[in-house]
Amino acid sequence: MIEAVIFDWAGTAVDYGCFAPVQAFREAFAHYDVPVTMEETRKPMGMLKRDHIRTMMKMERIATEWKRVHGREATEEDVEAVYAQFEPKLFSILKDYSSPKPFVLETVDTLRKMGIKIGSSTGYTDAMMDIVVKGAAKEGYSPDFWISPDGVGGKGRPYPYMIFENMKVLGVSSVKNVVKVGDTVSDIREGVSAGVWSVGVIEGSSELGLTQEEFEQMSPEQKEKECCRVEQVFRKAGADFVIDNLSQLPALIRMLGK
C-alpha cells in the first residue's frame, strides 16, 4: 500500500523543462569565458548546485577548455567562484519559474483523496526553495513537506537522506510504501539509493529539455522518438517505471497498491 509520493520540484512539479537553473548555470560559466552546452548543463541536473558545478568542471571538454582559458586546471576555489555567479542569477529569475506543470494540481488532489501524503525533495537550497515554494503555493501547489540538501547536511542526490527525512516527518512505515517521482537521472538514483519505487516523468523534464510549446509543436513521430530516448535514460539509471506525464501517476499508484 503506497503511503506517500515524493515529488522533485523543477522539471517535475514546477518549471516545465527545468529552465531556470540551466539558464543560470550557462551564464555563470560564460562569465569565466568557458561556454557550456545545454547537454553538458543538464547532465548533472537534480544534484545540489555546488555538486552540479563540480561535476561539470570534471567533464572532459569543460576541464580542457577551462585549462586552456585560465592556464590551469579548475580548483575548488573555481567551483566557488562559478557558484558565486550562479546563485544571484538564479535568485533573480526563480520567481518566474515556480508555476505548476500540467496535471500537477489535479494529480495531487487525486492522490490526497486516495489517502496518500505528498512529500518533496530538491537540488535547490533552502533560500532558493523559499522563493519557489511561495510562488507555487500562490498557484495552488503545496506539498505536505519539503526539504533541500541543506536539511540533510548537504548530502543531496543521489544520497537517499532527503527521502528518509520525508518518510520520518510524514510517518511512513516502509520504503516499500513510497514512490519517488522525478525528471532527472539524479532523481532516479535518489529513489534507487533509498530503496523506494523510482518513477521518471518524461514530458516537461530536464532530460527532455524542451519548452511546452516546443514539445507540442513536434510531430507524433518526433515525440515518440524523444520520449523513447528519455525513457531509456531513466531505465538505465534504474527507474522502476516511466510515465509520460503526471496524469498517469494515480493509475500507477493504484496498480502498486494491489
- 8 Å CB contact between 144 and 163: no
What is the per-residue pLDDT for 257?
83
pLDDT at 190 over 90: yes
Quick one: angle between helices 49-57 and 76-93, nearest 10? 130
Lowest-confidence segment of 42-56, 136-150, 223-237 by average pLDDT: 42-56
Q: Which CATH architecture has domain 19-95?
A: Orthogonal Bundle (1.10)
17, 125 contact by CB (below 8 A): no
Q: Which CATH superfamily is domain 4-18+99-256 in?
A: HAD superfamily/HAD-like (3.40.50.1000)
Give the burial string for 24-54 (b: 16+ CB within 10 Å, else e): bbbebbeeeebebeeebbbbbbbbbbbbbbb
Q: How far apart are CA 211 and CA 221, in angstroms?
A: 18
Is residue 235 over pLDDT 90? Answer: yes
pLDDT digits (tens, 9 = 90+) for 161-182: 999 999 999 999 999 999 999 9
Residue-range domain boundaries for the chain: 4-18+99-256, 19-95
Q: Which residues touch 97 (CB under 8 Å, ≥6 apart)?
A: 10, 14, 15, 19, 20, 132
Catalytic pick from 15, 43, 49, 187? Answer: 49
pLDDT at site 143: 98
pLDDT above 70 covers a percentage of the chain that reads 100
pLDDT at 78 over 60: yes
The residues that bridge with 117 in the sheet, in sequence order, are 4
Whose cell is 514512490? That residue is 179
10 backbone dihedrals φ, ψ, rounded to 5°? -60, 125
Active site residue 49: yes
Instruction: Give CA–CA dist 254/257, Å, rounded.
Output: 5
ω before 220 within 30° of 0 (cis)?
no
Residue 258 is predicted with a pLDDT of: 56
Average pLDDT of the chain, as a whole number: 96
Rounded Cα distance, 111 and 7, in Å: 12
Beta bridge partners of 118: 5
Residues facing 231 on adjacent strands: none
Q: Does residue 71 register a pLDDT over 60?
A: yes
pLDDT tens-digit profile of 24-40? 999 999 999 999 999 99
Burial category of 218 from C-beta neighbours within 10 Å (exposed 0-12, middle 13-18, buried 19 and up):
middle
**Placement of cell 523506494 in the chain:** 196
pLDDT in tens, 90-144: 999 999 999 999 999 999 999 999 999 999 999 999 999 999 999 999 999 999 9
| pLDDT number for residue 21 | 92
The closest of 103, 98, 149 to 122, measured between CA atoms, is 149
**Is 8 designated active site?**
yes
H-type alpha helices, 171-219: 185-194, 212-216
β-sheet with 178-182: strand ranges across: 117-120, 4-7, 178-182, 197-201, 241-243
